Amino acid sequence: MNIIKLNNVSKKYSNGTTALRNISLDIEAGEFVYIVGPSGAGKSTFIKLLYHELKIDKGTGIVAKFDLMKLKRRDVPLLRRSVGVVFQDYKLLPKKTVYENIAYAMEVVGKRPREIKKRVNEVLDLVGLKHKLRSFPDELSGGEQQRVAIARSIANAPKLLIADEPTGNLDPENSWEIMNLLEKINLQGTTILMATHNSQIVNTLRHRVVAIENGRIVRDQAEGDYGYDD
């Protein structure tokens, strides 16, 4: 089963910049895929299309059974239930505690309090931060904040987890810790799509590599290497 199916997808920003040209890509449920490429290649644009932060303007795209062309505004929360997202800068809500950050992601999709409580504890356990549940984001290290963000992203048990440079702000030790978590989540059945500039990670933890340059897919390689000088 394809969890992502893109056919000739293009994206032009309103200022005239064409960020993606004729992207066609199939990703099967359960895969782990790296998106690599130089700065400005279109990686972030690509990722934003997948969770409907941006609309595609040509082609067709299906993500977790949602048709990106037909998706209505009111359907976006449904998509977000099936697709977890993790960012380079964590994007935790600063005025909420660790617990509340994760619980909120479940409240907005209408989960019941009892289920929320159980699941928040479960995902905090998975990322090893149960003891920090009352902390606020600014009381945590970067690595800890990213672990909370990952816990939040999987709280609703998404089929697909999209990570845009999740280790971009972290030192090597914390980066590897984040990768261990993503591997674990992938082994539990979640598809992972991760944009990264980290050659060491890509060359060590081998997975499918899709390279984007100038808005086009220029390489799609099983167990691929990073393929650029850092």
**Least distance between ligand ADP and beta carbon 5 (Å):** 20
Check residue 109 for interaction with ligand ADP (CB under 6 A): no
Lookup: tokens for 83: 């697709």
Could you tell me where the DSSP H helices lie in the chain? 43-50, 76-82, 98-107, 113-126, 142-154, 172-187, 199-204
Q: Nearest 10 degrees: CA dihedral of 102, 107, 113, 114?
A: -60
Which residues, in sequence order, are CB contacts of 53 under 8 Å at separation 6+? none
Q: Minimal CA–CA distance to 65: which of 46, 79, 80, 81?
A: 79
Size of the site for ligand ADP (CB under 6 A): 22
> Is 209 within 8 Å of 219 (Cβ atoms)?
yes
**Least distance between ligand ADP and beta carbon 132 (Å):** 18
- Given 75, 107, 108, 172, the residue binding ligand ADP (CB under 6 A): 108
The residue with tokens 């697709």 is 83
> Is 144 within 8 Å of 132 (Cβ atoms)?
yes
Check residue 85 for interaction with ligand ADP (CB under 6 A): yes
Check residue 73 for interaction with ligand ADP (CB under 6 A): no
Lookup: tokens for 65: 């059974």
Check residue 105 for interaction with ligand ADP (CB under 6 A): yes
Question: What mask of x and - would describe binding to ligand ADP in positions 141 to 180, judged by CB under 6 A?
Answer: -----------xx---------------------------
Question: What mask of x and - would describe binding to ligand ADP in positions 16 to 35, judged by CB under 6 A?
Answer: -x-x----------------
- Given 13, 112, 118, 204, the residue binding ligand ADP (CB under 6 A): 13
Distance of CA 155 to the CA centre of its chain: 13
Closer to ligand ADP by CB, 170 or 211: give it.
Answer: 211
**Least distance between ligand ADP and beta carbon 15 (Å):** 5
- Given 93, 157, 187, 218, the residue binding ligand ADP (CB under 6 A): 93
The stretch near ligand ADP (CB under 6 A) out of 66-74, 82-90, 126-134, 183-191 is 82-90
Residues 84 and 73: their CA atoms lie apart, in Å, by 18
Lookup: tokens for 209: 């590599």
Check residue 96 for interaction with ligand ADP (CB under 6 A): no
Residues 88 and 163: their CA atoms lie apart, in Å, by 8
Check residue 91 for interaction with ligand ADP (CB under 6 A): yes
Instruction: List residues near ligand ADP by CB under 6 A.
Output: 13, 15, 17, 19, 37, 39-45, 80, 83-85, 91, 93, 105, 108, 152-153
